[in-house]
Structure 1
Amino acid sequence: MAGIYLDESPNIENIIKKHHLEIDHVNNARREKVKEAMLHAWNSYVKYAWGHDELQPQSKNGVNSFGGLGATLVDSLDTLYIMGLKEEFKKARDWVAESLDFDKDYEASVFETTIRVVGGLLSAYDLSADKIFLEKARDITDRLLPAWDTSSGIPYNRINLAQGKASNPGWNGGNSILADSGTEQLEFIALSQRTGDQKYQQKVENVIRQFQKIFPSDGLLPININPHSGAVKSYSTITFGAMGDSFYEYLLKVWIQGNKTESVKHYRQMWETSMEGLLSLTRKTSPSNFYYVCEKNGDSLSEKMDELACFVPGMLALGASGYSPEKAEQIMNLAEELAWTCYNFYQSTPTKLAGENYYFHGGQDMVVGTSWNILRPETIESLMYLWRLTGNKTYQDWGWDIFQAFEKNSRIESGYVGLKDVNTGTKDDMMQSFFLAETLKYLYLLFSPPSLISFDEWVFNTEAHPLKIVTRHDNEGGSGGGEGKGIADSKIQPQGRKHGKPE
């Protein structure tokens, strides 16, 4: 497999010709508008925050919210590449080669660093075949590895990048968080495949083995886990929103990443168990019959749903085809119902932008809880999956509505900002890196042919970084992987959230 080198980066017109697709003038125009939005966001970052983690557009300065790892730049690499923005990509690539330095005396989030930085670098490598990205991905991952040195193998969630000293934040009682501990599998397995060094895969697959030991019959794990004993804090929250979400997403996606072989079958089995748990948390409102996913605290249900949980419709749609036809139809129907709810999170506010979470009370369909919007991607992500997997253009129209609301409320002369309140439209002062990594990428793909970053060849990490699918035959029939033979770099040629708050 040859790489997609810069002079032949994805070209929509060529894809349309190659696949004999009808030209869709409406979505072509929408896609160009999204590309222009990306250029506006990127150029604002370049002008006011170059090399910093994130841009504060109203203040017109850069802030190092992730320890000075160039988070927005690294998060944007694959988006620039996929959009064919070659000059911008090359400028970013040169900064990575010359200036990206991980020797920082900074307590980094293992989760955020993995999904944004490791994921962003590996995706740029898979797309461009430029070895500098793989070298940098290995450097930062080696600095994260000591976090897994616990008696259970479940990682601490923070680590000093210079000193290698790992810990958990005091506010969580020393516990590790489910999403933070169970959302590194895609990236670390990919790194092992591309380097031939199994240590990364072994660390993260051991975590899954530990989770299998405590996996409940409904597949729903509480969000707090003791990294020493590996035991869950039984009365902590169960959620598909913040601090739970991407653990469930990665159970499905590691199965897809390994090309659905025996080696990764246990991931699919765990995911299907968790989806039965999800069905048990699903309710619908009156009078409008909006479906939603509750949270669980001990034995009691909380009628609350985060916008973060709006990744669920896309996840369900992506996983539906692995079921029997009857079950697949049930899962896809639920995906479509939940997507309608998430779209209405946006449509129900004066700005047409969603709040951070919603409550569902008797006789009321949905009420905004926390009312900020920080440019999150989850609803658009699900619309992209549903459009691709159903062919229903309604999902493109819904995505266009959301994009127009961002343009109206969040675009300013020096970038894009979130809203402190979706009811009043009061602006904040932060352009989150995931707006460029996820929100704009998913919008661009929503209006592009499905063969651009095809689901047959790529799987997206939870920060929307596409990684190549590589068939796995290690540990056939096993229950945890990690001992099998690696796929060295010479054998795979590259072709080619999360927990934020407004400032």
Structure 2
Amino acid sequence: MNGTKLRRRKAPKNAKAGNPEKEVDSEESELEFDFDLWKYTKILAVPLLLAIGVAYYLNPTIFTDAMQSYLGLSEQELAKMVPVLEFPIDFSANVHRRDAVVRAFQHAWLAYERDAMGNDEYHPISHEGTNLTDAGGIGYTVVDSIDTMLLMGLDQEYSRAREWVATKMDFERNATFNTFETVIRVLGGLLSAYHFSGEDSLYLEKAIDLADRIIPAFNTPSRLPLSNINLALREGAIDPNWPQFVSSAEVATLQLEFRYLSVLSRNTLYWEKAETVMHVLKNSLMPHGLASIFLNWYNGEFVLSTLRLGSRADSYYEYLLKQYLQTNNTEVFYRDMYTNAMDAVHKTLIKKSANSVLTYTSELVPEKHPDGQISWRLTPKQDHLVCFFGGSLLLGATTAGALVHPVSVPPRAGELSEQGKRDWETGISLIKTCMATHDTATGLAPEIAHFRIPSDGIGHDPQYPSDWYIKGAHTRPGELPPYDARYILRPETVESLFLAFRLTGDEMYREWAWRIFEAIEKHCRVETGGYASIINVDEIPSRKEDKMETFMMSETLKYLYLIFADANVLPLDKYVLNTEAHPLPIFDIPPKFKDLVQRNPMLSHPILE
């Protein structure tokens, strides 16, 4: 009986004498009953306790909310009392997988260096490079890749890249470059290289030269920067496709770079230009609290246009949070803008699919009627770009939405505000949805996913997944599928997996990341060197497109490396990554910059705590 003692039950003193045999049988049956009860209780207890433990781990509020209500305690008081089930978390490097990612980076970089060194873009199938303008390039791919080399410890590759920057990088190009892309890729890359190279002055000098050429783009009546900049003439230029407009993402995704450059150079001009943009946007926000994708660059007002978290809007929301983080959680202006925006997103754009109840983000498209009335059409469409948002919500929940700092990994009951809990749950759900969109023939996600709603007219067609589909992906032989079906080496899902792993310690996110890496290796790798986009993620064998975006080395492979590297490589409490995955250090606002932001003439509310 495994050492367990069973005690015989004694008959009551007032019991009448009866048949001795029956009394013995009764006594033995009671003994057997006690043993059987104990045995089955033991058998049932183990899975029951495990089930309770798992339930508490997945959703501790089931228990804590009940206890809080019963005991009448605050969340903070309850958090001190409730024991936390600790699960082993291993943040050490997975050396095999980390090194596989390093070899993939070398496969991409060495091919580019061999065929197209210095060119802005690389075409791995034709073994050619191209530039963004006829006047020449400015080394987009080189500068976008340098900090990845430094993080990976690729000294030889880095040495050659630095030599190119020192001897051949030239911004004197009489042509227009996209302001936003140049800031996030080239300026951001130079600033990150400056930091991780041990403050090599070469990179800071280049960064100041580039920023001074970009600053004239801000010379508009509204003080919003124009979409393009002529680097040689130092003149802003409109986007010929949208001559009256600039996008929310373009104007609100320059701030991390310009503010950090101001601190390094001790020149407040860059900070002031970037900060003013945010106040213009704050004063122009519409009642629903969301940023439509376009603004009028002349008067600084939002125009009637689509509301979404995808292209032309995505990094606006990303930088609201990251500006708050960049200056050590002190600028309440950005925290409040971020929390208000997340309330609006949940109220307006977050939806659930019909069958598997996947969480996704929709789009609101305005429609003008003949009588002048405006209605909004809800479109169940989510860009792959939106897959950054799950990880961003987790990061926001544990910083802007936290009641204590730092929070536990994963956060414990009582450490997050109500909004923080909501954002955490939505973030986890969105990451699962983004992984669901990798359920394709190649295991890679499409550029755009549409989610099933009753009115889509598809019915129960077995060729479509039950919850989402790629619009127009199933074409006739010889026809090209729509852009929706492409995978262009985007990083957004692995970006969220990186943040999710660091903030939860759950090994599942590493497994998902490895699955994506293996799919990239299988379907996008060009054997002669480099990686190519694929035309249809739901087609085997996949057809390759002759282009490797710069963010493959800057973001996709960097995030994959960071997922499998030791967590000390880039601690989240020390760095904030710009939207091109260039890490910039978190800093305290210098005194003269505090004076600058507080005396901003557009400011009618406090900005600092």
Scaled by the length of structure 1, what TM-score is found? 0.88
1:170 to partner: Cα distance? 2.5
User: Where does residue 449 of structure 1 map in the other structure?
Assistant: 566
Q: What is the CA–CA distance in structure 1 between the aligned matches of 2:172 and 2:126, rounded to whole Å?
A: 28
User: Where does residue 284 of structure 2 map in the other structure?
Assistant: 214
Structure 1 contact 209–480 (Cα < 8 Å) conserved: no
User: Where does residue 98 of structure 1 map in the other structure?
Assistant: 167
* Structure 1 residues 482 and 430, CA gap change in structure 2 (3 angstroms): farther
User: Where does residue 336 of structure 2 map in the other structure?
Assistant: 269
User: Where does residue 323 of structure 2 map in the other structure?
Assistant: 254
Residue type matched to 1:270 in 2?
M
Structure 1 contact 73–92 (Cα < 8 Å) conserved: yes
User: Where does residue 313 of structure 1 map in the other structure?
Assistant: 390
* Matched residue SS, 1:171: coil
Q: What is the CA–CA distance in structure 1 between the aligned matches of 2:243 and 2:297, rounded to whole Å?
A: 11
Q: What is the CA–CA distance in structure 1 between the aligned matches of 2:554 and 2:90, rounded to whole Å?
A: 28
Structure 1 contact 316–335 (Cα < 8 Å) conserved: yes
Residue type matched to 1:187 in 2?
E
Structure 1 contact 201–482 (Cα < 8 Å) conserved: no
Structure 1 contact 45–415 (Cα < 8 Å) conserved: yes
Aligned counterpart in structure 1 of residue 427 of structure 2, from 335, 341, 348:
335
Structure 2 contact 524–532 (Cα < 8 Å) conserved: yes
Structure 1 contact 217–273 (Cα < 8 Å) conserved: no
User: Where does residue 131 of structure 1 map in the other structure?
Assistant: 201
Residue 417 (structure 1) aligned with residue 508 (structure 2): no
1:327 to partner: Cα distance? 2.6
1:247 to partner: Cα distance? 0.8
Q: What is the CA–CA distance in structure 2 between the aligned matches of 1:228 and 1:53, rounded to whole Å?
A: 31
Q: What is the CA–CA distance in structure 2 between the aligned matches of 1:215 and 1:473, rounded to whole Å?
A: 29
1:226 to partner: Cα distance? 0.8
- Relative CO higher for 1 or 2, CA cutoff 8 Å, sep ≥ 6? 1
User: Where does residue 365 of structure 1 map in the other structure?
Assistant: 467
Residue type matched to 1:463 in 2?
E
1:431 to partner: Cα distance? 0.8
* Matched residue SS, 1:451: helix
Structure 1 contact 205–480 (Cα < 8 Å) conserved: no
Q: What is the CA–CA distance in structure 1 between the aligned matches of 2:421 and 2:290, rounded to whole Å?
A: 23
Structure 2 contact 92–567 (Cα < 8 Å) conserved: no
Residue type matched to 2:443 in 1?
K
Scaled by the length of structure 2, what TM-score is found? 0.73
Q: State the structure with more CA Rg.
A: 2
Give unmatched runs, 5+ long, in structure 2. Answer: 1-88, 367-375, 404-415, 455-465, 472-483, 602-609
Residue 382 (structure 1) aligned with residue 484 (structure 2): no
* Matched residue SS, 2:103: helix
User: Where does residue 180 of structure 1 map in the other structure?
Assistant: 250
Aligned counterpart in structure 1 of residue 150 of structure 2, from 78, 81, 84:
81
Structure 1 contact 31–448 (Cα < 8 Å) conserved: yes
* Structure 1 residues 100 and 481, CA gap change in structure 2 (3 angstroms): farther
User: Where does residue 50 of structure 1 map in the other structure?
Assistant: 117
1:22 to partner: Cα distance? 6.3
User: Where does residue 522 of structure 2 map in the other structure?
Assistant: 408
Question: RMSD between aligned alpha carbons?
Answer: 1.7
User: Where does residue 350 of structure 1 map in the other structure?
Assistant: 441
* Matched residue SS, 2:378: strand
Residue 460 (structure 1) aligned with residue 577 (structure 2): yes
Residue type matched to 2:419 in 1?
K
Alignment of 1:292-307 (within 5 A): 292-298=360-366, 299-307=376-384
* Matched residue SS, 1:301: strand
Between Structure 1 and Structure 2, how many residues are aligned?
A: 458
Alignment of 1:148-297 (within 5 A): 148-233=218-303, 235-261=304-330, 264-280=331-347, 281-297=349-365
What whole-Å deviation, never above 9, does each CA across 1:300-348 have from its counterpart, x for those lacking one? Answer: 22110000010101110111022242332221111010000111111x2
Residue type matched to 1:162 in 2?
A
* Structure 1 residues 481 and 307, CA gap change in structure 2 (3 angstroms): farther
Percent identity between the aligned chains? Answer: 39
Structure 1 contact 177–224 (Cα < 8 Å) conserved: yes
Residue type matched to 1:305 in 2?
Q
Alignment of 1:485-500 (within 5 A): none
Alignment of 1:386-397 (within 5 A): 386-397=500-511
Give unmatched runs, 5+ long, in structure 1. Answer: 1-20, 484-503
User: Where does residue 13 of structure 1 map in the other structure?
Assistant: none
* Matched residue SS, 2:569: coil
Q: What is the CA–CA distance in structure 1 between the aligned matches of 2:91 and 2:302, rounded to whole Å?
A: 53
Q: What is the CA–CA distance in structure 2 between the aligned matches of 1:257 and 1:142, rounded to whole Å?
A: 22
* Matched residue SS, 2:533: coil
Structure 1 contact 265–477 (Cα < 8 Å) conserved: no
Residue 37 (structure 1) aligned with residue 75 (structure 2): no
Structure 1 contact 202–481 (Cα < 8 Å) conserved: no
Structure 2 contact 180–253 (Cα < 8 Å) conserved: yes
Q: What is the CA–CA distance in structure 2 between the aligned matches of 1:23 and 1:387, rounded to whole Å?
A: 9
* Matched residue SS, 1:225: strand
Q: What is the CA–CA distance in structure 2 between the aligned matches of 1:417 and 1:480, rounded to whole Å?
A: 48
